Homo-oligomer: A and B are copies of this chain.
Amino acid sequence: MDIKKKIIEQSIQLFEMKGFSETSIQDVVEALGVTKGTFYYYFSSKEQLLREIHLMYIDGLLKLQEQIMENPGTRYQTKLYETVKLLITQIKVTGRPARVFHREMRHLKPESASMVKQKRKLFRLNIQKIIESGMEHGEFRQDLRADLVAFAILGMCNWSYNWFDPNGPVTDEELVETYMETLLNGIVN
């Protein structure tokens, strides 16, 4: 595997463990057995590395979301289910970059940040669109604001990165089911 990729992977691991500010370039290159010069041969700055990590992650997420959106003939409940499942499953698959993604956006420079924010917004608006379409087709209640519901879903799912351990006693399927039941039918008896 080429060095640039190794640097990115190692950085993700360290950023996730210690945080972006607390991880030095030295830490990264030392873990790989290369020199700082090598790092700066591939990246122009620490911030640029973080930007690449962010874009890589959100782009991957958007691509997967696209498949959900475009899958024809599915009900909107199913689309929502797929979305929640996507986010939770990512914890198992890419837990680390996800956590870096959620925690370290503040360290992007304004320009990088706005690029990333735009894509995150797109992801959120897609969820909102599912809800709105579901409302129009009579699947969902129409007396709720779709935008706020979208935020609720995102919060519920994303927060899981803070505590959910896919290798723990709760499986990701179980978590998804609980979230979806709560979301679709509520907890009231």
Question: In the complex, which range does the number of interface residues on chain A fall in?
Answer: 35 or more
| A144 contacts partner chain B, Cβ-Cβ < 8 Å | yes
Contact pick for A152, options B174, B178, B185, B188, CB 8 Å: B178
Instruction: State how many copies of this chain the complex holds.
Output: 4
| A21 contacts partner chain B, Cβ-Cβ < 8 Å | yes
In contact, A187 and B151 (Cβ under 8 angstroms): no
Stretch of A2-10, A51-59, A61-69, A134-142 at the chain-chain interface: A134-142
| A22 contacts partner chain B, Cβ-Cβ < 8 Å | yes
In contact, A178 and B159 (Cβ under 8 angstroms): no
What is the distance, in angstroms, from A34's C-beta to the closest C-beta of chain B?
A: 17
Q: Encode contact with B along A76-97: 1 for CB under 8 Å, 0 otherwise.
A: 0100000000000000000000
Q: Encode contact with B along A20-53: 1 for CB under 8 Å, 0 otherwise.
A: 0110000000000000000000000000000000
| A115 contacts partner chain B, Cβ-Cβ < 8 Å | no
In contact, B182 and A149 (Cβ under 8 angstroms): yes
Q: What CA separation (Å) do A138 and B139 show in the bound complex? A: 27
Q: What CA separation (Å) do A184 and B186 show in the bound complex? A: 4
Chain B residues with CB under 8 Å of A182's CB are 144, 149, 152, 183, 186
What is the distance, in angstroms, from A37's C-beta to the closest C-beta of chain B?
A: 13
Q: What CA separation (Å) do A106 and B99 show in the bound complex? A: 13
Chain B residues with CB under 8 Å of A155's CB are 155-160, 162
What is the distance, in angstroms, from A107's C-beta to the closest C-beta of chain B?
A: 8
In contact, A181 and B144 (Cβ under 8 angstroms): yes
Q: What CA separation (Å) do A16 and B184 show in the bound complex? A: 35
In contact, B19 and A144 (Cβ under 8 angstroms): no
Contact pick for A186, options B22, B148, B160, B185, CB 8 Å: B185
What is the distance, in angstroms, from A128's C-beta to the closest C-beta of chain B?
A: 12
